[in-house]
Structure 1
Amino acid sequence: MVHPSDELYGADRVLVEAVSVLEEAGGGPSRGAEVRVLLPRDVTYPEQRLTNELRRRGVPVRTTDVPVLRRDYLHPRALPALLVRTARGFVELRRERPDVVYLSTSAALLVAPLARLLRAHVVVHVHETWSRQERVLLGPLLRLCHTVVAVSDAVASGLPLPGTRVTVVHNGFDVPRADDRRAAALRDRVGARPDDLVVLVASRWNAWKGHELLLEAWGRAGREDAHLVVLGAPPPSGQRVDVAALASALPDPGRVHVVGESTEVPAWVLAADVVAVPSTRPDPLPTIAIEAAALGRAVLAADSGGLPDIVEDGVTGSLVPTGDVDAWTDALRALDRSRAREQGTAAARRFRFLFTRDAFRERLADALDVGTPTGATTGG
């Protein structure tokens, strides 16, 4: 398995579950498989959260030279180094002599031709919504993969492949139930009164995750009975947003609480009344929206990407026009704590039907029917 990061966010957590599926799935080379995970060394992740989780589960992990497509590398000066990593990655992959190579995101697609040279069955798990440019540049690499899994209908429809070549498998997790007393303590921490509304946004502070839009709408909404809690941190590479600076410039900064990264995400979700997902471009299938539903919390989300797969508008939350600050302002003004609780109850029911860990693993196992003999060219 080749994965581009050493964190423990959405795609990283899906990888952890996929490891178990590959180890346990019947049929073909996956039966009784020994799974190894290769991580790139081009970006440093000091906390090594994914590595620690995998090793806790007894899964071998190695940080080595495998090529990863990052936006920072898409200019001529970066190409020589990327080519060197690709050559070294082939040597590393050949050393493993794999029957199956699982590429956990589109960022690992440079490994696809290397795996085909080694006559391995190639699986790619697409978590990203592709732009037109990505369809042109990555399409040839995608067509080298034998098995293509997409996390949502929106992601699948954006791939340059016939629909019959793509299997949609929604992510699913067992979300730990947070302690009610701890959630109450977190509400106290931000100074929320018993009847106050608490809105949570939790994601990396990437430019497209919508923090700037949400904070502008929050400032316009001017609610004196509400608090906004922001979890997360800037990404190690790519465009980012200075959330703290934006929050401090608001008319009432005391009602915006920039917590940063936290190991208590479930407790913060339980402390909130509504979880906001304001992504300004199609978000494939945000994990935080699924976690919110699991914990019985309504979601206020952009109406694009995979979010409509999670949020039933008006029933388990509300969908807001993507990137429309006026619409987001109106939506924040309209939030009602009692109504949010009703929607949260409906969201929990929807989670149990669609997004549990068992449902995900069953569907992924069906999709990863990698029984094609080594060296076959099906779907290439």
Structure 2
Amino acid sequence: MPLPPDFTLLQVVPELETGGAEQTTIDVARAVIAAGGRALVATRGGRMVARLAADGGRLAQMPVHSKNPLTMLGNAARLADLIRTEKVSLVHARSRAPAFSALWAARRTHTPFVTTYHGVYSARNRLKRWYNAVMTRGDLVIANSGYTRDHVLAEHHMDPAKIVAIPRGVDLDRFSPAWVTPDRVEALRRAWGIAPDERRTRFLLAARLTRVKGHLTVIAAAAKLKGEGRSDFVVLFAGDDQGRDDYSRELTAAIAQAGLQDTVRIVGHCDDMPAAYLVGDVALAARTTPEAFGRTAVEPQAMGRPVIASNDGALVETVVDGVTGWLVEPGDADAWARAMAVAIDLGPGKRLEMGQAGMNRVRQLYRNDLMCAATLAAYERVLEARA
């Protein structure tokens, strides 16, 4: 059963600022439009709204990021009105707080409801488990990796037939070395203070400045390498703190205390990630808690760069140890220092071979068109079951 000709999708996501859930929202909206449907996104807003509009999607701006119960009730009423006015065919919620409003609106309007589990949510008590379980109350649950699917099944004891694993995809029209012009790479090198004759191995950790992303582990690993007399590498942290000023200051202080000002640099938010991965030689995915998918381990592989990643969560699905990168115990600075030393000593030629292996694997398993096709097939399955 293909999508009906008048299909209209409403996705609900807290913000369209940056991140994997947000990028997937944009990707799926584009796929629906390409298939002849209409795509709406209810969100607070953010820097990715322009991309949604450029693809032909429509913004429905409302405070769906809020966890205030009164605001959530208001959002539910607004979403119900939107569903009726726009004749929405299916509602897809991508976060817990908005999912409550979206679920209520979908039930009130008898509209099919789908959720995506983009993260592995902790549940230390019964109330938190109930809060998380809103993501399992739709017609179908999409998990963004096999690891996430296993977690949901173990945590919520739901019917396995109601959950499907659809790994996130990478846009290979964007993340392709062939499409990145030298001037884009050079512009980033200049912005990040990398000299034209720089010969040190460059490690890139592309992630928001938040504690779970492992920046402090990498700083400690860099300090260990420096203590061993190594000065043949540089570490770049690409990402903004999104208001986490205390953590940003903590990182700056840790870098200064270790005397790494010339070795570890916080370069801020980057809008041109394909070029950023080409500036780097090796990508780092150093998360200290299990990663539900980890786009920052897959995108650099699409760009031909090997990855050092935490040996946990879904990263063990996306990085093949010794083939497309290295898997290292999360939070173990000594282990990260050893892995970084191996990557440096491997040299450009061998790293290029690993990067090519990663590129081939991404093209087989993590293409954006595969993710979008599987998501649209999930929508078709839900509509057929409702019919």
Give the TM-score category using the shorter length.
Answer: 0.7 to 0.9
**Distance in 1 separating the partners of 2:216 and 2:333:** 10
Higher helix share: 2
1:166 alignment partner in structure 2:
163
Q: Deviations over 1:194-239 (max 9, x none)?
A: 6421100111011111111111111112131111111101134798
CA distance change for structure 1 residues 202 and 107 in 2, over 3 Å: closer, same or farther?
farther
1:231 matches 2:238: yes
Give how far 1:264 is off.
2.5
CA distance change for structure 1 residues 286 and 324 in 2, over 3 Å: closer, same or farther?
same
Alignment of 1:186-197 (within 5 A): 186-187=188-189, 189-191=193-195, 193=197, 195-197=199-201
Alignment of 1:263-302 (within 5 A): 263-302=271-310
1:72 alignment partner in structure 2:
none
**CA RMSD, Structure 1 to Structure 2 (Å):** 2.5
Q: Which of 178, 181, 193 is matched with 1:179 structurally?
A: 181
TM-score w.r.t. length of structure 1:
0.85
Q: Contact 2:121 / 2:132 at 8 angstroms: preserved in 1?
A: no
Q: Secondary structure at the match of 1:124?
A: strand
Q: Which of 358, 361, 370 is matched with 1:350 structurally?
A: 361
1:138 alignment partner in structure 2:
131
CA distance change for structure 1 residues 107 and 331 in 2, over 3 Å: closer, same or farther?
farther
CA distance change for structure 1 residues 236 and 186 in 2, over 3 Å: closer, same or farther?
closer
Q: Contact 1:4 / 1:39 at 8 angstroms: preserved in 2?
A: yes
TM-score w.r.t. length of structure 2:
0.83
**Distance in 1 separating the partners of 2:223 and 2:296:** 23
Q: Contact 1:190 / 1:227 at 8 angstroms: preserved in 2?
A: no
Q: Contact 2:210 / 2:244 at 8 angstroms: preserved in 1?
A: no
CA distance change for structure 1 residues 61 and 187 in 2, over 3 Å: closer, same or farther?
closer
Q: Deviations over 1:319-370 (max 9, x none)?
A: 1011222211221222233332221111111111011122222222222225
**Distance in 2 separating the partners of 1:355 and 1:62:** 30
1:204 matches 2:197: no
Higher mean C-alpha deviation, range 308-317 or range 241-250 = 241-250
Q: Contact 1:211 / 1:241 at 8 angstroms: preserved in 2?
A: no
Q: Which of 106, 113, 124 is matched with 1:115 structurally?
A: 106
1:304 alignment partner in structure 2:
312
Structure 1 runs not aligned, ≥5 long: 26-31, 70-81
CA distance change for structure 1 residues 356 and 216 in 2, over 3 Å: closer, same or farther?
same
The count of aligned residue pairs is: 352
Q: Secondary structure at the match of 2:252?
A: helix
**Distance in 2 separating the partners of 1:99 and 1:257:** 47
Which of 1 and 2 has higher RCO (CA within 8 Å, sep 6+)?
1
Letter of the 2:90 partner, please give it: V
Q: Secondary structure at the match of 1:344?
A: helix
